[in-house]
Homo-oligomer: A and B are copies of this chain.
């Protein structure tokens, strides 16, 4: 973050016609946007695009969720047809939805057959990861390629004129990989950070915790080797989102994080390059316990906290108008002098 622009931001916010500090957390966001862009006032983060990175997970074979794996591909088709919650929220907020197939296990015939492929970026690194309890989820090279998919997606979306990026994700069983990543980077025990995902019963939850414990025991991932961690227990969408954050940060473009999957990917990205955090805004806190641990480790305070646990980018999208409003206030609000309002003595 640029120190000069940060200073200008705080100074300007004190002169705006409002009690000092009265916009609370939004003043911190405004200052971050100034520091990131090196401008005060900062560019209004509009238009925005949510990139939904989709991938499948070999660990699905361990029975960590009751949802069948083909739902990942079916939901990708639903995104492309405009029928998912992320589409409805994006429509309401004037944001675009872009779907990136970085590792869906199935081919995607329905979407392609019906010609509804606008908005799909086919970037499949491999058709789903391997089962982390049996071996590595992917090779180091595949992890690198998935990261590059994310970097390139960020670059292309910014080149297309987007001033704000939003993370999204889809992948049946991806909360299992996320919880494993959170364990590695926070040192937490799987029992503390493994949640109910889309809604699982006690028996499945116990199995999910055991599966994560087993995978961590098998790989003993080293948090100082983030590519190795991704290869061992990560997901292709986690790798791509980590790249997406790195790409956004290198372009000094703010990126709003969705829930647990983005939070765990941000831990990876921060282990690769700590500077990435300057571009990251935590959109919301999900109901997943691992997300709380991830946000605490990242030192990020979420803007929305409404028990959402859907993914897709829905929680991050809800935060988008808050970030835009914070930036717009820096542009449009009069100062005490200019408005002829008496300042507090």
Contacts and interface: CB of A to CB of B under 8 A. Distances in A.
A313 to B, nearest CB: 12
B23 A308 contact: yes
A310 to B, nearest CB: 4
Contacts of A329: 85, 88-89
Interface string A304-345: 111111100010011001101100110111100011111011
A214 interface: no
Interface stretch (A47-55, A74-82, A140-148): A74-82
Top 4 nearest A-B pairs by Cβ distance?
A24-B307, A83-B334, A19-B198, A25-B306
A139 to B, nearest CB: 30
A84 B22 CA distance: 13
Contact of A78 (B17, B67, B344): B17
Interface of A: 16-26, 44, 66-68, 70-71, 74-75, 77-78, 81-85, 87-89, 91-93, 110, 197-199, 287, 303-310, 314, 317-318, 321-322, 324-325, 328-329, 331-334, 338-342, 344-345
| Stoichiometry (number of copies) | 2
B84 A333 contact: yes
Given A88-B328, A309-B22, A322 B333 contact: no
B333 A74 contact: no
Contact of A339 (B16, B77, B92, B344): B77
Contacts of A70: 342
21 contacts: A17-B78, A18-B84, A18-B85, A20-B199, A23-B310, A23-B314, A24-B307, A24-B308, A25-B308, A66-B344, A67-B342, A70-B342, A74-B339, A78-B341, A89-B325, A91-B328, A92-B321, A92-B325, A303-B304, A318-B321, A318-B322
